[in-house]
Structure 1
Amino acid sequence: MRERAAADSGRRAEARWWQAPEAGRANAVHPGAWWLWALGLAVAASRTTNPLLLGLLVGVAGYVVAARRTDAPWARSYTAFLKLGLVVIAIRVLFSVVLGSPLPGTHTLFTLPELPLPEWARGIRVGGRVTAEQVVFALYDGAKLAALLICVGAANALAAPARLLRALPGALYEAGVAVVVAMTFAPHLVADVGRLRTARRLRGRSAGGIRAVARIGLPVLESALERSVAVAAAMDARGYGRTAEVSPAVRRTTAVCTLGGLIGICAGTYALLAAEGAAYGVPLLAAGLAASVAGLRLGGRRSPRTRYRPDRFGPRSWLVAGSGAAVAALMIAAAGYAPGALHPSLIPLTPPELPLWPALATLAGLLPALVAPVPVPATNTVTAREEAP
């Protein structure tokens, strides 16, 4: 029986040599690679206001998430980020309608009653004429911000927070714990709300309305407090917060390198995200990264840590991170030779068109759906363990 099972598994492996393997400890994609991929898509989204390209970027991120996310609670947060993006678009359009826009327009949609303001509030208006140009401008602007949030949500759904914390250098361990706890709180909160709403429906009670929200909120808060107490106890049992002694010179050098590197990274990132500035943004970003790496290596002496089975940045991780970087680089290059295609005209108001080469560049972000290992459902893993001799 074992020989037959081995032969069957060998035939399946030969028949599927061109497909990505099942995910395991040895071939799992590094969590940092998922974040680099998502940040590449976010950089590409920040370079355009074309709703067709933004929708294509969101579709690429959603397809990769649907193909490679696990069944863990934190992996279900992508839908919440999608809803948050829609809320952001609605709020941006609402603010534009109520507070007006500096963009002139000729196509009047309707006119709201204008609220008179004092002299010191000159330049601000509430109500008045609402034009199609200002509404479309707000829609484009809100769609760009929503795409950025959705890209971050894709990274949050694909990269395991615990593995991401384990991959951080020792100097960022304390800050990484705070960030990972904050990142995991929202998905657990969404899962708790869904579980309690399902329980209320099974009991024949209403799951909507203000009264139901008030009755669901107390159990959610109670579970969040219990989870925080358990996390604090686990951190204390593992010796969290203990540091080693280092010389004052090393501490000062670490502070200078880290602070200077972060300033360089912020300046370089701002230059890359701005409409113009990619020429000096790359050197600043490279210098900031080098200084930050030096500061982090020196700061890691304060936090001696050991890693059990550390995650490796293997070839598949490089391909995942490289696909996001390729999308960002190609979109930045497209902004140089075809700015009109990335930013549709508002005056005169024209419908957006899907440019060919930027759209093809965006499709490079689908590479993780082909090369990243396929996650194994938890039920299959438990069944395989039970059937193992």
Structure 2
Amino acid sequence: MPSRCHAAGRDGIRRTPPAGPAARPARHRTSLHPGAWWLWALALGTAATRTTNPLLLALLITVSAYVVATRRPHAPWARSYGAFLKLALVVLLVRLAFAVVLGSPVPGTQVLLALPEVPLPSWAQGIRLGGEVTAEALTFAFYDALRLAALLVCVGAANALANPSRLLKSLPGALYELGVAVVVALTFAPHLIADVRRLRAARRLRGRPDRGVRGLLQVGLPVLEGALERSVALAAAMDARGYGRTAEVPPAVRRTTAALTLGGLLGVCAGTYGLLTAEGGAYGLPVLLAGLAAALAGLWLGGRRTLRTRYRPDRWDARAWLVSASGAAVAALLALAASRDPAALHPGVVPLVAPELPLWPAAAVLIGLLPAFVTPAPVAPHPRKEPT
């Protein structure tokens, strides 16, 4: 009896402490800003584009995989990392297949196999089908494909670590409507897949065919009907929340916003081109920085037209600075190593030599492991208890 009186209130109603809402603010405060994860992952991807050394690229993939394995949250959207790994493997295999079938411009002397060559007309000069496959050509294709695969893996790490809904809240006001469209499009496909699986399971339980053209036609109509109902419900919910309202701004502000945004994007493109070419090294970085500043100013002015509020906005704290700085350090050090010792970061294929692991660039890549130690560990979901 005393324990029951202790658990009950003055009105005699038994109450339990709220576990969900009371625990959410503390968990929200311990989570990392999603923009920091994207900056870290994009910086690692930038570092991957500065080298073709397979040992450094494998180290970059390992670093991103370790951070994902230790800091990936327990959420459905965090399971996309495996899909990016499979996509990277497919890219690697397709690039090697193209090198075997279509040949490579890289000359080689170590012939691995000779395929029958198909004669092509004169207007298809530079393209061949079949012929000799050399070790130099395959090695060059493998290095090039592994660089793209590492970039895809880094993007997959950002998708697995950053919450898309929280990232949408952190977007500037000018990009909010575009971000909503992207998030809705990304969440539409999983719902379709879930509906198809549910309907196929229901047809199997009823003893009806769920495969072939007939099964596909009979499952497709309910799936499309459910997608249409979901779209109508989403549109009604967004309209009830005032989505799409804009504020009145002077025409001069609109023209200034358009000019800054367009000029900033052109500056970013010109600066990026200057950084990627040897002739534009002098003007590439200043033009890129000026373009970024103009584009950010245009986005800030464009956000004045969007009426929106933020509930519990994410804070950019010291851990977010450390995570983004670790990725930026990896990209900067790899770019410095590529300019000072290009032979170590780009091993030669003609003549074919074994790649070596440069020490201080490898140590620079290991800086990317910092998020695994400074960010909070993912919180395991609590099992739901049935009411008694």
- Normalising by structure 2, we get a TM-score of 0.82
Distance in 2 (CA, whole Å) between partners of 1:355 and 1:185 is 45
Moved more, 363-372 or 263-272: 263-272
Corresponding residue of 1:158: 161
- Normalising by structure 1, we get a TM-score of 0.82
Contact 1:38–1:152 under 8 Å retained in 2: yes
Distance in 2 (CA, whole Å) between partners of 1:46 and 1:197 is 44
**Alpha-carbon spacing, 1:275–1:331, altered in 2? closer, same or farther (3 Å):** farther
Contact 2:271–2:284 under 8 Å retained in 1: yes
Corresponding residue of 2:333: 330
How far is 1:232 from its partner? 3.4
**Alpha-carbon spacing, 1:91–1:298, altered in 2? closer, same or farther (3 Å):** same
Corresponding residue of 2:377: 374
Residue correspondence of structure 1 range 87-236 to structure 2 within 5 A:
87-185=90-188, 218=220, 228-236=231-239
Residue correspondence of structure 1 range 1-389 to structure 2 within 5 A:
24-185=27-188, 218=220, 228-272=231-275, 279-379=282-382
**Alpha-carbon spacing, 1:174–1:339, altered in 2? closer, same or farther (3 Å):** same
Corresponding residue of 2:18: none
Whichever residue aligns with residue 112 of structure 2, its letter is L
How far is 1:226 from its partner? 5.8
Greater Cα radius of gyration, structure 1 or 2: 2
Contact 1:261–1:292 under 8 Å retained in 2: yes
**Alpha-carbon spacing, 1:151–1:228, altered in 2? closer, same or farther (3 Å):** farther
Q: Deviations over 1:92-139 (max 9, x none)?
A: 111111111111010111122212111111121111111111111111
How far is 1:366 from its partner? 0.6
How far is 1:227 from its partner? 5.2
Contact 2:275–2:284 under 8 Å retained in 1: yes
Contact 2:200–2:219 under 8 Å retained in 1: no
**Alpha-carbon spacing, 1:191–1:43, altered in 2? closer, same or farther (3 Å):** farther
Q: Deviations over 1:304-348 (max 9, x none)?
A: 211111111111111111111111001001101111111111011
Tell me how many residue pairs correspond in the alignment.
Answer: 359
Q: In angstroms, what is the RMSD of aligned CA positions? A: 3.3
Contact 2:274–2:281 under 8 Å retained in 1: yes
Contact 1:47–1:275 under 8 Å retained in 2: no
How far is 1:265 from its partner? 2.2
Distance in 2 (CA, whole Å) between partners of 1:324 and 1:220 is 42
Q: What secondary structure is seen at the aligned counterpart in 2 of 1:379?
A: coil
Structure 1, unpaired ranges of 5+: 1-21
Corresponding residue of 2:20: none
Structure 2, unpaired ranges of 5+: 1-24
**Alpha-carbon spacing, 1:103–1:48, altered in 2? closer, same or farther (3 Å):** same
Q: Deviations over 1:246-289 (max 9, x none)?
A: 22111110001011111222333444456775554332222122
**Alpha-carbon spacing, 1:225–1:27, altered in 2? closer, same or farther (3 Å):** same
**Alpha-carbon spacing, 1:147–1:278, altered in 2? closer, same or farther (3 Å):** farther
**Alpha-carbon spacing, 1:246–1:38, altered in 2? closer, same or farther (3 Å):** same
Distance in 2 (CA, whole Å) between partners of 1:273 and 1:301 is 35
Contact 2:118–2:130 under 8 Å retained in 1: yes
